[in-house]
Copies of this chain bind each other. A is one copy, B any other.
Amino acid sequence: MTGYDVYELGGLDSWAQAQADAGGKRFVDKEIPTEYVGMSANALEPGGQAPFWHSHDRLEELYVFLAGHGQMGLDDEVVDVRPGTVVRVGPGVMRTWRCTPDSPEPLRWLCVRGGGDTLAAIGRDGQLDRERTMPWA
C-alpha cells in the first residue's frame, strides 16, 4: 500500500480520556489505513487504569509514555513509567497499566504494534483476562 496519508491527532495536551474508549484509547489506524504498523493514542486521568489485562499471540507492542506518571504490570512485575519511558512487550506477556493517583497530569502515551505480517492478516490476536486483579490493587 504505497502513497501517504495525513491525520491530525491533536497536540499531546489535547489527548483526553473522554475522547477515547473505556481504556483511554484512540486507534490512529482506524482513521488512516495502515498496512503493517498500528498505533493508538492514549490518555488516562490520575487514578485511572486499564479495564483489563491483555496479551497478544503474535503482535509486538511498544508503549511510548509522553506525559504523566504511571505504572505498567508486566506478568508478575510492576514498572514505573514517566515521560520518555519506552516499554517493548513481546507476544504472550500479560500487560496492564494505570495513571498513578498522584500524577501531576494525565498519563499520555502511544502504543505501536506490528507482528511480521499485515495487520489485516494477523487480525484480532488479543487475549483478555478480565478476572485478574490489577497489580497495585
Contacts and interface: CB of A to CB of B under 8 A. Distances in A.
Contacts of A67: 12
Contacts of A12: 12, 66-67, 83-84
Interface in A99-130: 110, 112-118
A20 interface: no
A113 B83 contact: no
Nearest to A113: B37
Nearest to A5: B88
A74 to B, nearest CB: 5
A110 B86 CA distance: 12
A92 interface: yes
The 6 A-B pairs with the shortest beta carbon distances in the complex, nearest first, are A114-B114, A11-B83, A2-B90, A37-B114, A36-B114, A9-B84
Interface of A: 1-12, 14, 28, 32-37, 39, 59-62, 64, 66-67, 74, 79, 82-93, 95, 110, 112-118
